[in-house]
Structure 1
Amino acid sequence: MNPLPETGFLKLSQILGNPKATPPVPPIIPVCKATWFAGQKGPNPRFPMPVRIGGGRGSFYRVEEIRAILKSA
């Protein structure tokens, strides 16, 4: 697995992995998309909400928030 940068943003496919990509992208957090989206709901969400970048054209997640999930696990 590639080390996470100190700051920046990640796409969901980078977080959950993509085995069909060339080369395959290993997951940082090994859950399916349905689990990820369900974990964003409720009063105490487990996963962060995306940040819109580029005039709303792309959804990204802050590396700092992903690191916090990994640290708490």
Structure 2
Amino acid sequence: MSISKLKEDIIKEKLRAKTIAYRYEVGLSTVWLYAKQGKLTPIKISKRVTLFDIDEVSAFFNGKR
């Protein structure tokens, strides 16, 4: 498996904060607050890109509602 394929697989199962806010109808600042509080685990992949695990996000929001 090539490195680019591995990166693609990792990124495919992740969400950006803006996508989480839209999908779960919360403010973007709320997503970052949850990350700061340790309720969501941010994954920094570059200086300007942070992702969140889709399974963790789904479990958090579905358990919350």
- In the superposition, relative to structure 1, how do residues 13 and 41 fare at CA in structure 2: closer, same or farther (>3 Å)? closer
- In the superposition, relative to structure 1, how do residues 38 and 57 fare at CA in structure 2: closer, same or farther (>3 Å)? closer
* 1:64 paired residue number: 55
- TM (norm. structure 2) is 0.58
Deviates more, 1:30-39 or 1:61-70: 30-39
Gaps of 5+ in 1: 1-6, 18-27
- TM (norm. structure 1) is 0.54
Divergent runs of 4+, >4 A: none
Aligned equivalents of 2:36 and 2:16: distance in 1?
19
Gaps of 5+ in 2: 1-11
Q: 1:14 aligns with which of 11, 19, 22?
A: 19
Count of residues in Structure 1 that have an aligned counterpart in Structure 2: 53
1:18-29 matches, cutoff 5 A: 28-29=23-24
Identity %: 19
Over the residues paired in the alignment, what is the CA RMSD in angstroms?
2.2
More helix per residue: 1 or 2? 2
